[in-house]
């Protein structure tokens, strides 16, 4: 099955496979990634004219938006949780 534009996958390597990018909050040029920009917009940064941002998932885990029984509502792009040592 072909991947969807904007899809996030878990990958055990320390590099992005060909055609993918790591979600490290970096800015990308809109001109080079127009389809991805049309989905993400400036939700994760960028000026919306020449650049847009990818989500920064370093040290984080992607969680679907919405709510579940006994759980708070989670919005797209929201950061949550805490570190316990």
Cα–Cα dist 51/39, whole Å: 13
> 39 lies in a domain?
yes
**What is the reported pLDDT for 62?**
83
Average pLDDT, the chain: 90
> 29 lies in a domain?
yes
- DSSP character for 38? H
> 85 lies in a domain?
no
**Structural domains counted in the chain:** 1
> 74 lies in a domain?
no
**What is the reported pLDDT for 71?**
80
Higher pLDDT, 7 or 61: 7
State the pTM of this model: 0.80
> 14 lies in a domain?
no
> What average pLDDT does range 12-39 have in this prediction?
96
Which domain covers residue 26, as residue numbers? 22-51
Other C-beta atoms lying within 10 Å of the C-beta of residue 46: 20
**What is the reported pLDDT for 74?**
83
> 35 lies in a domain?
yes
Tens of pLDDT, residues 43-79: 999 999 999 999 999 988 888 788 888 888 888 878 7
């Amino acid at each position: 099955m072909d991947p969807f534009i904007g899809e996030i996958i878990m990958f055990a390597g320390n590099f992005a496979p060909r055609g993918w990018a790591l979600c490290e909050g970096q800015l990308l040029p809109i001109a080079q990634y127009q389809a991805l920009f049309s989905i993400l917009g400036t939700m994760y940064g960028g000026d919306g004219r020449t650049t847009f941002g990818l989500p920064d998932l370093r040290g984080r885990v992607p969680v679907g938006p919405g709510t579940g029984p006994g759980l708070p509502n989670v919005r797209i792009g929201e950061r949550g949780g805490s570190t316990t040592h």
